[in-house]
Amino acid sequence: MNSGSSLFDTLHSVFGFGEFRPNQEEIVRAILEGRDVFAVMPTGGGKSLCYQLPAVMLEGTCMVVSPLIALMKDQVDGARANGIRAAYLNSSLPPQEQSAVIAELRSGALDLLYVAPERFSQEQFRGLLNGVKLSLAVIDEAHCISEWGHDFRPDYLSLSALVELFPAVPVAAFTATATHRVQDDILKRLSLRNPLVVRASFNRPNLTYEVRFKDRPNEQLTDIVGEHPKQAGIIYRTSRKSVNDTAAMLQSRGFRALPYHAGLTDEERKHNQEAFIRDEADVIVATIAFGMGIDKSNIRYVVHADLPRSLENYYQETGRAGRDGEPSECIMLFSQGDIPKVRFFIDTIIDEGERQRALDALSRVASFASTTVCRRRTLLEYFGETLPDENCGSCDVCLGKRETVDCSTEAQMLLSAIARTDQRFGATHIIDIVTGSRNRKLLESGHDQIKTYGVGKGKSKTFWRQVVDELLAQKIIAKAEGLYPTLYLLPRALEVLKGETSVTMLRLKERTGKKNAPA
Ligand code: ADP
Ligand code: ZN
């Protein structure tokens, strides 16, 4: 066993760090003692050091299983720059180089070997490992072994044989994302033996969270970008088309924005990503394809212009803001109308289990967006963490940016308009009725004659759309599926119409700040 002083010596001399980050020392010590480890640490928490340091100190080779083939080379280059004898084996490597790495492995000349998971399922590779002294087996992105995680990879299942095949080798599993349920699943599938379990805090105190009612996304995105002149930001959208459209819209308004999605050529993607990293572009408009392995510390804001797929995704994507510890904003634009759009895609999932998980994830993220309690608390509770303070002081709910208003009267106006038009029209038409629009479709339908026509003239369309949204959220009305999403009344609507139930909603308090335009 190595002495404590050599632990710090190695930290200084090999890695050049003055001290450990939270949890690192505990994990390193457990590994050095030969104990299994399971650690959940947020991105940027410093997981690599937890196994690279033991890899240097222990005799033999540390094998790291990682699904991120694209990042292996960077990892290895980084380790080599620190003087660690590291290599990787994956399908991207030409056969000749693979043979060279295998020879190094055989001769015991490697401290660290990165491999892709499918490699481990190969008999031949397992045979090779049998002739090698393994010091440690590391499972990176360990959530990939669980079907309950957001990124299940069947290749990972072969890792459940690890402990049985190499009983003398300690196993350390790491992930940046695991609910307690996923954690239990990982521990069971890997058969970890009395592991040290570490859950680092997921709280990111320098991030503020805010959800804004999505009404006119282009104007809202322009405002947000305008509020952050010359600052780096990411805007996430779901589809490639909306990424392109939003990037073009921002460009036409004078902002330095670039698109990023899997439909661009490798060259375009590389160019746009590098322009962003070098601060030549301020805003990247991207699908979730963007961000894996992006190491840019000064991202000041992340916007979700569409509903993210899950709370895990939301956490990961917003987590790219403020890596430097400076205050940064996470803003989501959300309206109930986004939910059916996501459902539409979920309905195309053939695998029953997968579809159910996607539905669960959608309902969690939708309820996060509609919640009236602290966003930070909701997010952290999802990861099994409780926040000590009732008020986090840095989300829209805790900052009191919203106020509860009674909109029972307005709800009645809308419900009555829906009822009087036989529940055959969509939100736009219903709002046109209550606001007294003179548009042709409305006049031709004779709906300017009904009793609620124009009763809500004084309030903006945004306000009315939000009331409709609230009625949908509270299941007082519903939207028919199909080409024309008409609104119809649910049983509770009657109670509201009779005045037996009141309707309240959270509204953003009027903003006093001025609008910024790009220079
Ligand atoms: P993760 O894999 O958990 O996302 P990394 O291992 O990539 O995190 O580490 C994130 C960053 O933190 C890296 O730049 C790494 O060099 C740095 N880092 C890790 N441990 C320490 C430490 N003890 N002191 C200072 N910096 C550290
Ligand atoms: Zn809060």
Q: For 452-501, list the strands marked E by DSSP.
A: 477-479, 487-489
Q: pTM (2 decimals)? A: 0.72
Tokens of 472: 């949908």
Ligand 1 touching residue 20 (CB < 6 A):
yes
Q: Where are the alpha helices (DSSP H) in 82-172?
A: 95-106, 117-120, 123-130, 162-165
- Ligand closest in space to the Cα of 393: 2
Atom of ligand 1 nearest to the CA of 41: 3
ipTM score of the complex? Answer: 0.97
CB 357 within 8 A of CB 334: no
Residues of the chain with pLDDT under 50: 1-3, 512-519
What's the confidence (pLDDT) of residue 296? 87
For the CA of 397, the nearest ligand = 2
426 lines ligand 1 (CB under 6 A): no
Q: Could you give the CA distance from residue 129 to residue 125 in angstroms, rounded to a whole number? A: 6
Mutation choice for ligand 1 from 47, 49, 64, 315, CB with most ligand atoms inside 8 A = 49
Looking at residue 323, its pLDDT comes to: 85
Contact predicate 42/57, CB 8 Å: no
Q: Can you tell me which atom of ligand 1 is nearest the CA of 48? A: 6
**Half-sphere exposure (CA, 13 Å, Cβ side) for 388?**
2
> Pairing state of beta strands 37-40 and 196-199?
parallel
Strand partners, 402: 508
